[in-house]
Chains A and B, each alone.
Chain A
Amino acid sequence: MKTQEIAGAMGAAPVALPPTDPLYARILHLLRNVWRAMTSSRKVAVGSAIVGIFVLVGLFGPLFMRYDPEATSNLFIAHPSAQHWLGTTVVGQDIFSQLINGTRTSVFWGIGTGLLVTLLSMLVGLVGGYFGGWVDDVLTLLTNVSLVLPALPLAIVLAAYLPRGPLTISLVIIFTNWAWQARVLRAQTLSMRSREFVTAARSSGEHTWRIIFFEIFPNEIGIVVAGFVSTTIYVVLTWAALEFLGLGDGTIPSWGSILYWAQQDGALGGQLWWWFIPPGACIALLGAGLSLINFGIDEIADPRLRQDARPRPQKLRKAAA
């Protein structure tokens, strides 16, 4: 269980406080643990910083754009210059402004969709794992079938038929990607369910939903967080891929749509590297930041993966008489 190990590694008490503590105290405790976890590992710190920068740019960037990203001009296919930091497109639009504008869509739709996927998989995993019986059987079948159907082709087919737009893409990605985390959480919930503290809670008459969300779930937060990060990486990449394939709404700005237009307007053949390299670099960077956070969490949870300083083999000293 990652959370307890994370907390244990910090020398702090485990996250799951007794149910008698008020909710705000437990949330505060949780946040404090998260902060400690974030700043302890270098990987997590660097990753969080990168993601943080993108979030900030997404939030406030559009306020500082020099040009209207949609505005065309006479200066087309211009190389990067002081005037246009990343040059212009084939119709003279400023690429840097487009990039900043697109950041908002890509980052927030990406994180938002990741969140929704995590929530859905949590629901399925926790409910299936806790209730067992036919509920679990049905949910497991759904999960396994969803896992085994190829995600990207299905997403493409769905996106092709449904009305274009970010909402569609978001729903499509959620529909094709909830299963993995659901399965992981179900396994974890199953093992939690047989623990004594759950039996104790049940015998003291605690309400089922309280047990699921306030007893069992807090112990799985580590896995859920790691899963959320992984999912978001995948969401961001898939989103960009779908946009790139032209399945998004080309008029709504995002990193993927910039790449789509770059491809459409022959940026490759024309060697307009400033057009398609920056958006891709942003996607890669965001993905790298999220990956770092994930690796950091992995290392905290499993000490064997850490790169400890190995003790140097010393020459055998003759023992003192």
Chain B
Amino acid sequence: MATTGRPLLRVSNLNVDYLAASGTVHAVTDVSFSLRRGEILGLAGESGSGKSTLAYAITRLLRPPALITGGEIRYYPGDTVAGEDVISEDAMGADAINRVPTEIDGGSIDLLQLPGARLRKMRWNELAIVFQSAMNALNPVMSIGAQISDVLRAHRPQMGAEARKQRAVELLQLVGIAPDRLRSYPHELSGGMRQRAIIAIALALSPEILIMDEPTTALDVVVQREILTEIMRLREQLNFAVIFITHDLSLLLDLADNVAIMYAGRIVEQASTRDLYLHPRHPYSYGLLNSFPALRGPLRRMSGIPGSPPDLRSVPGGCAFHPRCPFAFSACRVALPALQPAQTEHAGQTVACHLYNPVYSAEPPTQNDLAKKYEMLAEGSAIR
């Protein structure tokens, strides 16, 4: 867990809207977080919480009718090349040339303001994205090898054909694919191999940040485990930062350093993984964590979280979660809770909930309180 303190990416008050004929949908509202070098940040939430939109907004891959309507995304390139790469000497030297220059605006770049050519240069070099469905993300009429050398040819013009092939082979070996697969087409590989191929392509230019959008959702659990282990190993080796997007919180508990929980387009809780696991503050987070049974421990009735995520065209007033929250009180219906540090003994956890706001609530609920309320829900649903 090498988080070296200096921020790599800082998102401030990001807003993304979808302009539809029937009205504007706020897919991402007022999202702020920062990512440090080598950190793995988990972004969790149900479908429609805005996590994929957020990822695409950061990489500026949104297509109309989606539009970034506000906010800032600052990238701090720094002057160190990310970790040690298994690339050849000349490519290493060339790497430095091809990195985005650092003397800009006092060391940081606003990604949202980057003009076309600079954005293109930055893409994949600094920021790479691993898509959810590898089958759809790979060009069906190009071999895997060609899709890797594509990137090399675009960003490393000084590399010759031989060097590109060598690098491609290195990358495939890095993710555990045999080099003879260089000439294979996507449909000739298994699901797991395709996902690993996508990861290999993502790592081709040794990016600083890797955004992974539900990379294992389409795979069975065994392969899922393999891929996750692979990702962790690669991160150890190459020290890139990861924004890992998923709806499956259990994956993040193993993988991530920090977790941000999203609901209806906003971040409702942010904490280190350990803190979140041991004492989730937001009732939603608690519900999520307790939606899957523990391997050990006493038998208990589970309720999940009643209801379903709101339609983003008509988000409930006040706190968006209040219709489903077992703790909802008067303030929740009218006032929007801000993301603030929870006033508990463990610092560093931020939560957007009135229960932790001394203005509205005298005592923040303890873990026991949360547990009891959810149990009552479970009992209640059993009776019904």
Are A and B close enough to touch in the complex, i.e. CB under 8 Å?
yes
Inter-subunit contact A319/B67 (CB<8 Å)? no
Residue numbers in B under 8 Å from A313 (CB-CB):
67
Once the chains bind, are B64 and A310 in contact (CB under 8 Å)? yes
Contact with B along A302-321 (1 / 0, CB 8 A): 00000010110110111100
Main secondary structure of the interface of B (DSSP, over half): strand
Known: A310-B64, A311-B64. A317 touches B69 (CB 8 A): yes
Instruction: Enumerate chain A residues within 8 angstroms of B30, measured Cβ to Cβ.
Output: 319
Q: Which of A310, A317, A319 has the most CB of B within 10 A?
A: A319
For chain B, residues 98 to 128, give those with C-beta under 8 angstroms from any C-beta of chain A. Answer: 112-113
Tell yes or no: B15 within 8 A of A by CB: yes
Shortest CB distance A307–B (Å): 13
Question: CA of A32 to CA of B384 in the docked complex: distance in angstroms?
Answer: 43
Chain A residues positioned under 8 Å from B69 (CB to CB):
314, 316-317
**Interface status of B336 (Cβ within 8 A of chain A):** no
Chain B residue nearest in CB terms to A318: B70
Using Cβ atoms and an 8 Å threshold, which residues of chain A touch B21? 308
Interface residues of A in 146-167 (CB under 8 A from B): none
Partner of B68, one of A308, A310, A316, A318: A316
B219 within 8 Å of A (CB atoms): no
Interchain CB contact under 8 A, B64 and A319: no
Number of A residues contacting the other chain (C-beta, 8 Å)? Answer: 9
A314 to B112, CA, bound (A): 13
Could you tell me which residues of chain A, from 55 to 71, have a CB within 8 Å of some CB in chain B?
Answer: none
Contacts of B68 in A (CB 8 A): 316
> Which B residues touch A316, using CB under 8 A?
68-71, 112-113
Nearest CB on B from A48, distance (A):
24
A318 to B113, CA, bound (A): 13
Q: Is the CB of A319 within 8 A of B65?
A: no
Chain B proximity of A75: nearest CB distance (Å): 59
List B contacts of A319 (CB < 8 A).
12-15, 30, 70-71
Q: Is B2 an interface residue (CB 8 A)?
A: no
Residue B19 CB within 8 A of the other chain = yes
Contact B71 A314 (CB under 8 A): no
Query: When chains A and B are docked, how far (Å) is the Cα of A314 from the Cα of B68?
Result: 9
Closest to B110 in A: A316
B67 near A311: Cβ-Cβ < 8 Å = yes
Chain A hits for B70, CB < 8 A? 316-319
Q: Which A279-321 residues have a C-beta within 8 angstroms of B? A: 308, 310-311, 313-314, 316-319
Please encode chain B, from 55 to 74, with 1 for each CB lying within 8 Å of some chain A CB and 0 for all others.
00000000011011111000
Q: How far is the CB of B269 from chain A (nearest CB, A)?
A: 21
Q: How far is the CB of A300 from chain B (nearest CB, A)?
A: 15
* Chain B residues with CB under 8 A of A318: 70
Interface pair B13/A314, CB less than 8 Å apart: no
User: A311–B65 Cα gap in the complex (Å)?
Assistant: 6
Contacts of A311 in B (CB 8 A): 19, 64-65, 67
Tell me the bound Cα distance from A313 to B67 in angstroms. 7
- Which residue in chain A gives the minimum CB-CB distance to B15? A319
**Which B residues are in CB contact (< 8 Å) with A308?**
21, 65
CA distance A145 to B215 in the complex (A): 46
Residues in A whose Cβ lies below 8 Å from that of B71: 316, 319
Within 8 A of B (CB), among A204-233: none
Nearest chain A residue, comparing its CB with the CB of B17: A311
Interface residues of B in 184-208 (CB under 8 A from A): none
Add 17 more A-B contacts to A316-B71, A319-B13, A319-B71 (CB < 8 A): A308-B21, A310-B65, A311-B19, A311-B64, A311-B65, A314-B67, A314-B69, A316-B68, A316-B70, A317-B69, A317-B70, A318-B70, A319-B12, A319-B14, A319-B15, A319-B30, A319-B70
Residue ranges of A at the interface with B (Cβ–Cβ < 8 Å): 308, 310-311, 313-314, 316-319
Please give the residue numbers on chain B whose beta carbons come within 8 Å of chain A beta carbons, in ascending order. Answer: 12-15, 19, 21, 30, 64-65, 67-71, 112-113
Can you list 19 A-B pairs with a CB-CB distance of less than 8 A?
Answer: A308-B65, A311-B19, A311-B64, A311-B65, A311-B67, A313-B67, A316-B71, A316-B112, A316-B113, A317-B69, A317-B70, A318-B70, A319-B12, A319-B13, A319-B14, A319-B15, A319-B30, A319-B70, A319-B71
Q: Which 7 A-B pairs have the closest CB atoms?
A: A319-B13, A311-B19, A319-B70, A317-B70, A319-B71, A311-B65, A310-B64
